[in-house]
Amino acid sequence: MPTRSRRPLRLPPSAAPADLTKITVPTLVIHGDSDAIVPFEVSGHRTHAFIAGSELALIKDAPHGVTVSRKEEWNRRVLAFLAK
């Protein structure tokens, strides 16, 4: 069985979709600060920066798969955002 690489995903700055700048609805960006597969700096941080007025929820010590590993906190943050 082949082993999967644990190297972080590295994307060039030009890889950000231009469509993100067109989003005008309230947006919550959730990311784990310990994601080694898709690091915050190359995904969550950039997504938040491209979506004007977006809200960022950076979950401390959360790895890739934050919806499973930190499901209670993820749900709490989503519900709080939706209640606004």
pLDDT digits (tens, 9 = 90+) for 2-56: 444 445 445 455 555 787 888 889 999 999 999 999 899 888 998 999 889 999 9
CA of 62: how far to CAs of 16, 48, 52, in Å?
23, 18, 25
pTM: 0.77
CA distance 82 to 4: 36
pLDDT number for residue 79: 95
Burial class (CB in 10 A: 0-12, 13-18, 19+), 13: exposed
Tell me if residue 41 falls in helix, strand or coil: helix
Candidates 26, 12, 31, 19; CA nearest to 55 is 26
- For the cut 80, the answer to whether the pLDDT of residue 78 exceeds it is yes
> In the chain, what are the domains?
22-82 (3.40.50.11320)
pLDDT number for residue 5: 46
Which is higher by pLDDT, 1 or 8? 8
